[in-house]
Amino acid sequence: MHDLLPRLSPDLTAEARRPLSASMFGGDVREVWLEIGFGGGEHLLWHARRNRDVGLIGAEPFEDGVVKVLAAVEDEALNNVRVHADDARALLRWLPDAAIDRAFVLFPDPWPKRRHQKRRLVNPSFLQALARVLRPGAELRIGTDIGDYARTMLMAFQTTPEFAWQAQSPSDWRIRPDDWPETRYEAKAVREGRRSAYLRFVRTPH
């Protein structure tokens, strides 16, 4: 946290420079992906290991997950990972327009109590912030194991024409794609008998 994190963290006090592939990753990557709330880092690290030519920016405010990712980055020399150890919304405000090629929001906190549901991350204003930083044609992947949250997510997308849902049949959101690794939160949902929804959207050219 003291030695490695400062070297991997984007400096939000300085202006973000395009392209991110050069300013953040030294030009060694062809695309830049963003994961918001990476939890224990399973999904982020899976992609970092298999896509060495992709730069991954992960945002996570909780220290335990950040430490796990930093340890893996150091042990495995994963030079394509950057970490924002704080709220993702500040990072979204900092990122340039149309700078991200793919984004992930996997199993965000569902805030199940009705009086807390206004705290849910995925809402129209959050989607507008994501739409700004995603390039046209970029993919957004969202996962949840809470049926009510999936419903409110889809309602938020209905008011955000910048995204087009890619589902053509129920299997498109019921079956996890091969390049979408399981997270520990999803594994917990499986153990507890909850079905997950795998929602994929594309940033439209609006």
DSSP 15-61: ---S-HHHHTTTT--SEEEEEE--TTSHHHHHHHHH-TTEEEEEE--
Residue 104 domain flag: yes
Residue 12 domain flag: no
Q: Which of 16-20, 66-70, 109-113, 170-174 shows the lowest mean pLDDT across its residues?
A: 109-113
**Residue 108 belongs to a domain with what CATH number?**
3.40.50.150
- Position 30, amino acid: R
Q: Alpha-carbon distance 138 to 99, whole Å?
A: 10
Residue 139 domain flag: yes
pLDDT value of position 34: 98
Give the residue numbers spanning the domain of 176. Answer: 25-203
Q: Alpha-carbon distance 106 to 40, whole Å?
A: 11
pLDDT value of position 111: 55
Q: What is the mean pLDDT of residues 156-173?
A: 94
11, 28, 53, 109: which one is catalytic? 109
**Overall number of domains in the chain:** 1
Q: Alpha-carbon distance 31 to 139, whole Å?
A: 12
**148 assigned to active site:** no
The secondary element (H helix, E strand) that includes residue 199 is strand 197-203
Q: What is the mean pLDDT of the chain?
A: 93
Residue 10 domain flag: no
Residue 16 domain flag: no
Residue 42 domain flag: yes
185 against 62, higher pLDDT = 62
pLDDT value of position 14: 95
pLDDT tens digits along 98-150: 999 999 999 998 756 666 567 788 999 999 999 999 999 999 999 999 989 99
Q: Which two tokens stand for residue 30?
A: 């062809």
Radius of gyration (C-alpha) of the chain in whole angstroms:
16
| Secondary structure, 3-state, 72-106 | HHHHHCCCCEEEECCCHHHHHHHCCCCCEEEEEEE
pLDDT value of position 184: 86
pLDDT value of position 202: 98
Residue 142 domain flag: yes
pLDDT value of position 109: 83
Q: Hey, which residues does 165 pair with through a beta bridge?
A: 201
Residue 2 domain flag: no
Q: Alpha-carbon distance 23 to 142, whole Å?
A: 27
Q: What is the mean pLDDT of residues 157-167?
A: 95
